[in-house]
Structure 1
């Protein structure tokens, strides 16, 4: 390769790396748009977190391993379901975002279902979740799941106690059925303290980029903290089965929670390198008689920036 071509390639790779890091910084800004007062209180409550360069270095390494896991799942036609549960603002969405950030959305998809419709309320409880289960070569991440019945539906009175007890009776066998069908089922509970949730709710109230995350239901979860705690403890005790155990992720430190969860998830699978087709860039066919059409300027997005 001529020196000038090699230099151009290096410049392009450097630009691509900067774009990648810019994307990471954009995501990290979601934690940074705070009033100075709340930022000061938050830092006092937490102390120093993992240094940003160390965090990004670890995150990029783990994300490269997630790509290997993805390729292994596709190659072996594996079926993977990962459930993320936890209190409101516990960090479920943050870790899901980092897991999916560099993966193929045709292989890895996130399911976050809204409240059930009137029709769905008359169905078998698990019915609306079944269509979202993976086929071979797919990974599905549930941002909340059928465990809504043991948590928010129970605490807020959307399900009767008989329905909750039926759920506890049915869910172990439902999950055993999934495992017997070849699905690898992983369940995470993100755990934060009372004080941490209150701080994160305050951040959401004062951060215009996060206010949409705070719903009246979230505010009720603050009022009913102890009820949620009791419901969580019973849920974990009655649904922690050998075929699909629960894993608890301490979530007060968001960055460490993300890294620890992704590292643990990778450790659950015997993935490795799989055969890859060689990819090469072929030469473009050049037609000397072709002239590129000049398009009307009104078709272009205005260059405001």
Structure 2
């Protein structure tokens, strides 16, 4: 049995909490800024509804001791705001699983984690808030979490092995996997910029824009050590072209709800690291300021 704290009761945090709850033998606590009330997770294929039953904390001051595991599910730009919980929950014996977008998980989380081990994670879960206290998981899409292969990754996979809602995959080349996901995140930024769901990628002009964005992101990825050839751009844009037209992205849902956007970890990083490596990023040079302005930054 392990003590697990899930920080952030949004869509991904709710699914992570459900996975920990379904594992069946863990003491799970949900950590939030305010009481979210009852949270129901809906499987959009089967219609099955599962309610989260763990206790909820609303302040780091309510933490009574360290956790063995912290599943950090706040957006990347909200990490500093979760510092109080991380400081209260973490010791050098804690493992923080950073269920976040981007490629800078460790640098972002470690300063707040009291020398805890930080395990970066790539999240492939399609979940969105669909009503007060309700999160819908599109289970026609695999709910997958990828972590680096190694002892910590193996421990995390074992932690959730009894849960049917999330599959944990150990990845030997995590850099390549993280940049592949980041490229999809960058492409999804077009949804937030246009305010439209996946149907927007059926436009030929948007397809060409997405291809340009994918190619420059992959060029930066290769400079950072990822094994992602330029030809990968067509395949990644193809994912968006084949999506159900009504599929959205978390950054789009945040825009539609007038929330701050996770633009820097998903798109800004491409321009920042591109400049470091001397790689032109013309699409990002336009898209990033648009997303920042949309976010109100």
Q: Same fold (TM over 0.5)?
A: no
More helix by share: 1
Provide the TM-score with structure 1 as the length reference.
Answer: 0.23
Return the structure number with greater strand share.
Answer: 2
TM-score by length of 2: 0.24
Compare CA radii of gyration and give the structure with the larger one. Answer: 1
